[in-house]
A and B are shown apart, each in its own frame.
Chain A
Amino acid sequence: MRLSYPTSIKIIRVPCTGKVDILHIMRSFEKGADGVYVVGCREGDCHYNSGNFRARKRVEQAQQLLDTIGIGGHRVRMCNLSSSDGPLFVKYAQEMHEKILEAGPNPIKLAKKKAKAA
């Protein structure tokens, strides 16, 4: 298919999205990520039965927490697709890329720069 997706996206592979914890999402933002999206198998298709459902819940919790501390929960998203859904993978990547361009850079990155300059 040789589809291309935005170069701003860095892929971190996990054995199952059930492995993704809120802590991983929080640390990503602390380290300067502008957004995080978790791409799991389609709902009902998880090889471990509930991994992607757990991931969805954790994404929702991370959204709440990020909203509370002022980073913005809209920077996190859960997506579902099957491993053969190349075009959908690209679609999600583009959507996320555009969403983050709209949201602007992670405020933590700017705050860290300011703190260093001071």
Chain B
Amino acid sequence: MIVADKKPIEEIIETIKDHQSILVLGCNECVTVCEAGGKKEVGILASALRMHFLQQGREVNIAERTLERQCDHEYLEEIRDIIDDYDAVVSIACGVGVQFMAEKYQSKPIYPGVNTLFMGVTEARGVWTERCQGCGQCILASTGGICPVSRCAKRIFNGPCGGSASGKCEVDKELECGWQLIIDRLKALGRMDDYENISPLKDWSTDRAGGPRKVVREDVEL
């Protein structure tokens, strides 16, 4: 899932302070799971904003709504009838949702309410860690299911580097060395021969280096 973290409320207040009617819009997908932008967070943020503005002597209309997703036309269409009731929208979906909202509703100011961080997993309650950087050319088959692009600070393909010590990365002593994880996993799988294979140069054009990416699937296009 896409992992995001809440923006400080002071920052949100600063961006919306000049508006009189605001819609706080959540998303039922990834940001709900990482407890940053779901229905509950919409309620808390809206309540805090209402009280803040009342304290300032302003009765600002803060409405709440949570869509199934903000990255699909059909769900964003659900607010077409009500969007004009508001001066601005605070979207607490990931950056994708905020941008799609902005594209769809051109004349409406859209402000982000979360900081979008990475594609990751829920390691434990309240702990999310990165697993994928969407490089566009998956090599997990040869690395025992552990990704050197997202788990190695240097993104190297023939590791570990000299900065790996006792299974930890030199970047942060708490951070596990991605290549140590790969080696341990290949050992457990009895596939250490794979480790001996030198990875060729990676074609980074499918990563961000090639600019914004696009997938067109003619088989599913309408």
Contact = CB atoms under 8 A, between A and B. Distances in A.
Contact of A23 (B43, B50, B57): B43
Contacts of B47: 23, 26-27, 30
A81 interface: no
Interface residues of B, number: 14
Nearest to A23: B43
Contact of A69 (B40, B43, B52, B59): B52
Nearest to A116: B59
A71 B51 contact: yes
* From A23, A108, A114, residue with most partner B Cβ within 10 Å: A23
Interface in B64-81: none
A42 to B, nearest CB: 23
B44 to A, nearest CB: 5
A22 B44 CA distance: 7
A65 B48 contact: yes
Contacts of A108: 51, 54-55
Given A111-B57, A114-B57, A29 B51 contact: yes
Nearest to A54: B125
A28 B40 CA distance: 15
B55 A65 contact: no
Contact of B44 (A23, A70, A112, A115): A23
B10 interface: yes
Contacts of A23: 40, 43-44, 47
A8 interface: no
A30 B55 CA distance: 11
A30 B51 contact: yes
B165 interface: no
A47 to B, nearest CB: 19
Interface of B: 9-10, 40, 43-44, 47-48, 50-52, 54-55, 57, 59
Report, nearest first, the 5 A-B pairs whose CB atoms are least far apart. A26-B47, A111-B54, A69-B52, A115-B59, A23-B43
29 contacts: A22-B44, A23-B40, A23-B43, A23-B44, A23-B47, A26-B43, A26-B44, A26-B47, A26-B48, A27-B43, A27-B47, A30-B51, A65-B9, A65-B44, A65-B48, A68-B10, A68-B48, A69-B9, A69-B48, A69-B52, A70-B52, A107-B55, A108-B54, A111-B55, A112-B54, A114-B57, A115-B54, A115-B57, A115-B59
